[in-house]
Chain A
């Protein structure tokens, strides 16, 4: 086209990041551009590497829990949970009934909080500021509930091997019920602002289509996988804790574009709220933590446990040699695979779509780098 007009374009390299407002965390992309069209994407990672897995090797199992909070700080509860599950399996610890319910309540509230961050930042990346404020407003309520329970808003250190660290205070259940009652209307509000918004649709529909085969080949998991039509959710397919007792749906969509990923996450928030409501109604009285010795020593062996967090499968591999510290801890987070598949999704799109795709994949860098 340009040659017809006597103009020549040359491919050029464009650097995005590492500190760019629309990269979630400190991620860097090296783009090959043909005019405005992306011809190749190379994600450069490692800027947030904190050697957390190595640090875990020098901590007792109890001491690792606050470190797992830093693995993926948007859903720290699920990191706590994954590690606790793995430790329990390794050491054969029992978890009291009430603790299981508390775990589910916290995990699902945390999933909502994480999706709210995604909702806010996605819209912000696409230029809409109002939804950002809405998302963070409701997230604030959830964080208040967490702070009321465990004392912190992000780094909870709440779910422990053998149970949870503290029982919920008396005020928790009324506050949570109030939140849940209002939440559905709030999600309606979000949808009114974005779902049908013509600008939002134009930016997202048919952008960054992730085919189910590609998604599976790249081990993409979580909502990004379900938006491509693969109904795979560990809460249903490999139930851990007591998820098999709750009645909830697993939202899926067929196209696998940015818009579908948006719809899936919005619907997941509603489903999570449903789970929390059921858990609050069924929660029994009782102890919240089984007897766990300080510096307990699980027998030698290795174990892999996984949970479904808001970015996909979060797995913990622990190798123990029967000492009070693990020999090796490895964590698998969903974001890494979602970043790996970015080059496939972006090629052929305009550079502005890179931001939309990255936002819709819900990648956060601490989950990639650790």
Chain B
């Protein structure tokens, strides 16, 4: 009998606890009409930032973001002008394989790429998740950002002599047009044999996203990196 009374009492205590919520207002947001305010650091989709005055992209084609990306979501296509300066042809982000880690934003020294607090990019087709430069730039307009204060003014990429790099970079600058395409790191599985430690060969440069052929060119920006 006492057990029964106890049981009922405990059930009532539980019921009372839930009952406290009866008079509360609902906190539900009616999504498409009402929207949650995203925090400032929120990591949504990758956008490209433009200069506030000129409207030009901040990107200097240093390729650091492409190398930092763990999934190979970023592809940068560029060509070189006669001075050897790289000119951006297309900046492609595959939102379908981006894992929203934010490493590209951290790698960039020029405030050119950012993860904006935007999240509405669902489509019906996987192909349309691949965004090109114009779209990335468009969605990036109006995204607030701070231009980093640079110790050395941005003379670096422009002042590069045509054949500064040696090795693969020099070989490439001889060609009129260079297109660098990021291999998704997954491909590298094949190039890396599971050999014992001593006999393991050095990694093959072209297959790695962070060791793309133009390494010699921007050793400097790699040092800028924190």
A292 touches B226 (CB 8 A): yes
Q: Which residue of B lies closest to A66 (CB)?
A: B101
Which of A103-111, A146-154, A221-229 makes up part of the contact surface? A146-154
B17 touches A157 (CB 8 A): no
B39 touches A148 (CB 8 A): yes
Measured between beta carbons, the chain A residues less than 8 angstroms from B185 are 55, 58-59, 63
Chain A interface residue count, Cβ-Cβ cutoff 8 angstroms: 46
B102 touches A157 (CB 8 A): yes
Give the distance to chain A from B218, nearest Cβ to Cβ, in Å: 12
- The residue that A151 contacts in the complex, of B39, B69, B186, B192, with Cβ under 8 A, is B39
In the complex, what distance in Å separates the CA atom of A323 from the CA atom of B42? Answer: 33
Measured between beta carbons, the chain B residues less than 8 angstroms from A295 are 210
Measured between beta carbons, the chain A residues less than 8 angstroms from B192 are 57-58
* A2 interface hit (Cβ, 8 Å): no
Measured between beta carbons, the chain B residues less than 8 angstroms from A155 are 99-101
* B188 interface hit (Cβ, 8 Å): yes
Which of A34-42, A193-201, A338-346 makes up part of the contact surface? A193-201
In the complex, what distance in Å separates the CA atom of A147 from the CA atom of B40? Answer: 9
Query: Which of A123-150 touch B at CB < 8 Å?
Result: 130, 144, 147-150
In the complex, what distance in Å separates the CA atom of A64 from the CA atom of B210? Answer: 14
A60 touches B210 (CB 8 A): yes
In the complex, what distance in Å separates the CA atom of A323 from the CA atom of B188? Answer: 15
In the complex, what distance in Å separates the CA atom of A257 from the CA atom of B157? Answer: 66
Measured between beta carbons, the chain B residues less than 8 angstroms from A130 are 18
* B70 interface hit (Cβ, 8 Å): yes
* A192 interface hit (Cβ, 8 Å): yes
B200 touches A327 (CB 8 A): yes
A67 touches B203 (CB 8 A): no
- The residue that A62 contacts in the complex, of B17, B68, B189, B222, with Cβ under 8 A, is B68
* A217 interface hit (Cβ, 8 Å): no
B107 touches A294 (CB 8 A): yes
Chain B interface residue count, Cβ-Cβ cutoff 8 angstroms: 38
Query: Which of A295-332 touch B at CB < 8 Å?
Result: 295, 300, 319, 321, 323-325, 327
A193 touches B70 (CB 8 A): no
In the complex, what distance in Å separates the CA atom of A166 from the CA atom of B105? Answer: 12
* B225 interface hit (Cβ, 8 Å): yes
In the complex, what distance in Å separates the CA atom of A193 from the CA atom of B226? Answer: 50
Measured between beta carbons, the chain A residues less than 8 angstroms from B42 are 147, 151-152
A198 touches B11 (CB 8 A): yes
* B10 interface hit (Cβ, 8 Å): yes
In the complex, what distance in Å separates the CA atom of A194 from the CA atom of B203? Answer: 56
Sample 12 A-B pairs with CB under 8 A, ordered by A number: A59-B185, A148-B41, A151-B39, A151-B102, A151-B115, A152-B43, A165-B106, A196-B13, A198-B6, A198-B11, A294-B225, A323-B203
Contacts from A to B (Cβ < 8 Å): 54-55, 57-60, 62-67, 69, 130, 144, 147-152, 155, 157, 165-166, 169, 189, 192-194, 196-198, 289, 291-295, 300, 319, 321, 323-325, 327
